[in-house]
Amino acid sequence: MSFNLEIISPQQTIFNDEIDLCILPGIEGDFGILKNHMPFLTTLRTGIAYIYQNKKMVETFLVNGGIVEVSENKCTLLSEDILKTSDFKVEKTDDKKEAEKMRISKKLYYS
């Protein structure tokens, strides 16, 4: 029950693997893609892409615009501005309020 997802940025191919499900922030609302999805083309807004493998969420990406093409059990995501959320680090700040903000925003990304 899997299909291929490829995430490509101008600098490199960020992700290329077989996955179960991905939920992407489309321009007209979030959508999920499963195996045998019909040919589909849309643009993305700013948001978070969730990737599921073996019924578990394995990765999230912050996306700022892009294009998604689905055809023949292959999903291609092109984005100029995309970041793996696990690459984020909370910088240490003395300001407690700042730190709390960071903590909450990170929690939101993962939830």
Partner 1 sequence: MPSLKDLRNRISSVKSTKKITSAMKMVAAAKLKRAQDNAEKSRPYANKMKDIVLSLISRSNTNNLKFSKTINKKTVLLIVCSADRGLCGGFNGSIIKHTKNLINILKKNGKDFKFLFVGKKAYQALRRHYKDLTIDLISDFANPRIEFEVASSIRDSVLKLFFNNEISECYLIYTKFKSAISQHVESQKLLPVEKDNKSENQTKSIMYDFEPNEEVILDDIIPKNIAIQIHSALLENLASEQGSRMTAMDNATRNANDMIDKLTLFYNRSRQALITKELIEIISGAEAV
Binding site for partner 1 (CB under 8 A): 8-13, 26-28, 38-43, 67, 69, 71-72, 76, 78, 80
Q: Going by C-beta distance under 8 Å and a sequence separation of 6 or more, which residues neighbour residue 90?
A: 99, 102, 103, 106
Q: How far is the CB of 25 from partner 1 (least distance, A)?
A: 12
Secondary structure class of 34 (helix, strand, coil): coil
Q: How far is the CB of 63 from partner 1 (least distance, A)?
A: 14
Q: Are 24 and 44 in contact (CB under 8 A)?
A: yes
Q: Are 108 and 59 in contact (CB under 8 A)?
A: no
Give the residue with the Cβ less far from partner 1, 40 or 110.
40
Q: How far is the CB of 42 from partner 1 (least distance, A)?
A: 4
Nearest to 79 by CA among 13, 17, 31, 29: 13
Give the residue with the Cβ less far from partner 1, 10 or 107.
10
Give the residue with the Cβ less far from partner 1, 30 or 99.
30
